Structure 1
Amino acid sequence: MVNELSGKVAIVTGGASGIGRGIVERFHGEGAKVVIADIQDDLGETLAAELGGMAVYHHTDVSDQAHIAELIAATVRKFGALDVMVNNAGRSSPLKRGLFNEDFEEFDSVMRINVLGVMAGTRDAARYMAEHGGGSIINMSSIGGILAGGGVTSYRASKAAVIQFTKSAAIELAQWEIRVNCIAPGNIPTPLLQTAASDEDRERLEKFEARIRQQMRDDRPLKREGTPDDVAEATLYFATDRSRYVTGTVLPVDGGTVAGKVMPPRKPKQDG
């Protein structure tokens, strides 16, 4: 398919780097006008300049509801519409040596960015979409919000909250032809994990991350590596009319990790 988003206007929060950048580039390649919302001004402005007049950067701190409201208003002023809202911005919580050592010092920040940012972004986009024929809202969770596990407990809790909120919003907003869906990436190399390292852990981050990534590979049925492009492709599906009868869903993009335990490899059985 080519130009599936021609004539559409989209916002991607956290769009200056990582998965967000992959989504911005995919949407732009499909003909959308894209607003890159982020706090990384240099990266965001550079990306917008690379993409040209069909993309603009807007400084947005999603933990601040006033910023989100202004983002929606600025998008409509610039491009005259809003068809797709991708609430992608997020952060991890610090790595600690077990729950007993967790002080939840950054709990408020994690929840304001990962949960409040998604909730306010959904609400404000829906207010516009309800009066203009509907639209698509896509919220970014994580397999950490589906699978329980030790470590980064605030992050896991925040991503689980995104899933429940998405389903609830989908039910409420369906009457206005607003679809709300959720993507749960897993083992996609991005800078996010680096933000989880405390000063004490930072020197050992490379070795730690390599060990975690290897464990994720071992737990993943598909052995190919996931990329931001894989998440962008799934996001594109939810943004287009191909998913016009799909709402309230959670799509893991994780190589099958949440499906179950990996089976031991075996050779295909041959007759005779």
Structure 2
Amino acid sequence: MTDELAGKVAVVTGGASGIGRATVARFVAAGARVVVADLDAEAGARSIAAHGANAVFVTANVADPEQVRALVAHAVTTFGGLHVMCNNAGISGTMHKTFLHDDLADFTKVLGVNLLGVMAGTRYAGEHMAAHGGGSIINLSSVGGVMAGGGVQTYRASKAAVIHFTKSAAIELAQYDIRVNCLAPGNIPTGLLAASATAMRSEVSEKFTAAARAAMRADRPLQREGTPEDVAELVLYFAGDVSRYVTGTVVPIDGGTVAGKPLRSLRKPDDTTAVRNPDDTAATENGSARRPVAERS
């Protein structure tokens, strides 16, 4: 137990699983009381089960601004205020289609959750915080919003928009002592990747997910898998007073993916023998790997 958030109230959207669930646990451990929002009521109940009276669950669709407004009001009514808003809820859309084969049928749904949900959360939390001394808003983007690449174009566009929106909101809300920051997770094993492949046959989906994870692992400098708990620690930093002079930032948490590709082989000056990276299981014959982009929940 720590006390970074003692006496504070937080809302975590998409808090039933993955990064959201890890964030809820970390916030409670740091002394906060938390309202968990998600569409999955069963998983939401599991998310709060170990936290007693310090966490409550609300079923909410963040793509509906009125439900987000009600969510913020519920936090204020239940716990007496709101100091931290973590806009984490996100979906990937259909991953296995190339852009020219994508009918864009999921465009409105993806943008509704990933962008409108973040904007609504920022707007309604910010309204309360502006009248009550400020607060911290943390928006979850993705390395897919930082780095261009093939595949999941709607997802990438939504996450890039979250980054630009975060910076703009940080500028406007600074006058109220509201900090707005953005995290860009990458290569974090959650249910999002598997969910994006649900249209495939189960055996194809499993192979797709395994190949995607291997490709992402091979394409980052740090070879260990990131975890939702890794991301939750960074969310905690932005939620607490230790980051009181930080706003408008975008921080990748991705094992170095955004920094650049790892060195695939090393050659001695007088030796033509290449020493391959033993973990480079997803490399193709020319040493490159295709990397899909569904990194987080």
| Interval containing the TM-score (normalised by the shorter chain) | over 0.9
Shift of 1:116: 0.1
Matches within 5 A, 1:1-272: 2-200=2-200, 202-264=202-264
Identity of aligned residues (%): 58
Aligned to 2:276: none
Shift of 1:201: 5.2
Higher helix share: 1
Letter in 1 for 2:209: E
Letter in 1 for 2:112: R
**Preserved CA contact (<8 Å) 1:93 1:153:** no
**2:59, 2:193 → 1: CA distance?**
23
Deviation track 1:158-196 (CA, whole Å, cap 9, x = no partner) reads 000000000000000001000000000000000011221
Shift of 1:202: 4.5
Deviation track 1:23-65 (CA, whole Å, cap 9, x = no partner) reads 0000011110000011111111232232100110011110111
**1:176, 1:96 → 2: CA distance?**
43
Shift of 1:212: 1.3
Q: Which runs of 5+ in 2 are unaligned?
A: 268-297
- Equivalent residues, number: 267
CA RMSD of aligned residues (A): 1.4
Q: Which is further off, 224-233 or 208-217?
A: 208-217
Q: Which is further off, 88-97 or 199-208?
A: 199-208
Deviation track 1:230-255 (CA, whole Å, cap 9, x = no partner) reads 00000000001111010000010101
Q: Which runs of 5+ in 1 are unaligned?
A: 268-272
**1:202, 1:145 → 2: CA distance?**
28
Letter in 1 for 2:188: I
**1:163, 1:18 → 2: CA distance?**
21
**2:32, 2:234 → 1: CA distance?**
16
Q: In 2 relative to 1, CA 201–98 (structure 1 residues): closer, same or farther, beyond 3 Å?
A: farther
Deviation track 1:66-104 (CA, whole Å, cap 9, x = no partner) reads 100000111100000100000000101102432110100
Q: In 2 relative to 1, CA 30–265 (structure 1 residues): closer, same or farther, beyond 3 Å?
A: farther
**Preserved CA contact (<8 Å) 2:65 2:120:** yes
Q: Which has the larger radius of gyration?
A: 2
Instruction: Give the structure-2-normalised TM-score.
Output: 0.87
Letter in 2 for 1:29: A
Q: Which is further off, 213-222 or 154-163?
A: 213-222
**1:202, 1:125 → 2: CA distance?**
40
